[in-house]
Amino acid sequence: MTETTFHLRENYAPVADELTAFDLPVSGAIPPELNGWYLRNGPNPRTRTQHWFLGDGMLHGVRLENGRAAWYRNRWVRTESFDAALPPGPDGKPDLRHSAANTHVVNHAGKTLALVETSLPYEVTTELETVGPHDFDGRLATPMTAHPKICPETGELHFFGYAREQPYLTYHRADVHGVLRLSRPVEVGGPTMMHDFALTSRHVVFLDLPLVFVPGGHGMPFSWDPDYPARIGLLRRDDPQGTVRWFPIEPCYVFHTLNAHEAGDEVVLYGVRYGHLWWEGHEGVPGTLWRWRLNTRTGTVHEEQLDDRDCEFPRIDDRLTGLDVRHGHVTTDTSLIRYDLHTGSAAVHEFGPGRTPGEAVFASPQWLIAYVCNRTRGASDLVILDATNPAAAPAATVALPARVPEGFHGNWIADA
């Protein structure tokens, strides 16, 4: 499979129909305390696209209720550009309502938002119906990252938007009620593709890395620039208009951070690191789990690879974002790996032959939930694992009526 066609084949291939099914069959026992919705987003192109990242967004959702799987449904996110491209605005810049909305789905201040990093978010319902673009009452004038962070202490929503023209990066903060209170430019070296960032109790952590906007190439308008310095930036949360302090690091790319936290004079960051990405003439490299220790007293950085297994989709329990979380996990082609970040040990759940897992998220401190492609059935399952003992057999497996294609990110939205 070539880079430009793999996303149209096998379990990457899109599905054609929007379905609804009720009272799904369950093996095992769904924990009765899990009442809510698991929603996951991902590309599902209706026409041939040059790259996986460009397909129309489709949400796949399962409703769990009192120990039963009440329903499954999948729906395209019907953005305002779903049927026809929106023309540029009067200033010649792209209309921020033009969106594939295909990367993530998060809930904050009572709104559920489908996200892609190049546009405004789109509000959707937990029934997967599209409400429309959300611009924070007209206050958001940049795209919104697909990886916002919610502070567990304040309830604030921290996020950023990147652009092809200056200001290349803008940091935003919304309060617990969803009111956008802060927007400020952050100086970076150029039009970098900043996919994710991190949050601690005292700092916002930015990754200014050598993947930059260049029209054309690889089906995406970004390419590796070996002359662009790689660095990590720290902005104090108690001085959000203050100076960002930058720490040079070895060249790399990070799609996804696992977490960050404070440790005395250090800010400790975990993420899945690639040595480079989309570098013309160079072979692709795997992503592996790394740790960076940024010493705010000495200005030095210690970089350390924690595992050599190819992985992606790192997650912690989001209720602990920015704290010294002991456990986090990643997903491989066949397994889920749960790391003890204090001791370095790892536990593995192998899903077995013919089964390929997607990202696993916390439905509660005890339970992990994920879609798993079941090639024997030619469909997908919703699998619930014990987060405290991930090597154990699943607590429950819900047989879905259709295949959930490979996708990106999602969240559990518990009943209020």
Which residues constitute the domain of residue 189? 6-414
- Chain position carrying tokens 């749960």: 338
- pLDDT tens per residue, range 117-172: 999 999 999 999 999 999 999 999 999 999 999 999 999 999 999 999 999 999 99
How are the residues of the chain apportioned to helix, strand and coil, as percentages rounded to the nearest 5? 5, 45, 55
**Residue 314, domain member (yes or no):** yes
pLDDT at 50 > cutoff 80: no
Alpha-carbon gap, residue 106 to 372, rounded angstroms: 21
**Residue 66, domain member (yes or no):** yes
Which distant-in-sequence residues (6+ apart) come within 8 Å of 214 by Cβ?
221, 222, 223, 225
Go through the chain and tell me how many residues it has: 416
What are 233's strand-pairing partners?
206, 246
- Residue 110, φ and ψ in degrees, nearest 5: 80, 0
> What count of other Cβ atoms lies within 10 Å of the Cβ of residue 47?
7
Check whether 177 is labelled as a binding-site residue. Answer: no
- pLDDT tens per residue, range 169-213: 999 999 999 999 999 999 999 999 999 999 999 999 999 999 999
**Residue 156, domain member (yes or no):** yes
Total domains in the chain come to: 1
Alpha-carbon gap, residue 188 to 228, rounded angstroms: 11
- Position 234 scores a pLDDT of 99
Going by pLDDT thresholds of 50, 70 and 90, the confidence category of residue 2 is: very low
pLDDT at 7 > cutoff 90: no
Alpha-carbon gap, residue 397 to 26, rounded angstroms: 6
Q: How far is CA 260 from CA 20, 88, 150, 257, 409, in A?
A: 39, 38, 13, 8, 19
pLDDT at 4 > cutoff 60: no
CATH of the domain at 96: 2.130.10.10
Q: Are 192 and 208 in contact (CB under 8 A)?
A: yes
Check whether 409 is labelled as a binding-site residue. Answer: yes
**Residue 207, domain member (yes or no):** yes
- pLDDT tens per residue, range 60-113: 999 999 999 999 999 999 999 999 888 887 787 889 999 999 999 999 999 999
Check whether 329 is labelled as a binding-site residue. Answer: no
**Residue 226, domain member (yes or no):** yes
Check whether 261 is labelled as a binding-site residue. Answer: no
**Residue 29, domain member (yes or no):** yes
**Residue 1, domain member (yes or no):** no
Identify the weakest region by mean pLDDT among 14-23, 32-41, 209-218, 243-252: 209-218
Going by pLDDT thresholds of 50, 70 and 90, the confidence category of residue 1 is: very low
pTM: 0.96
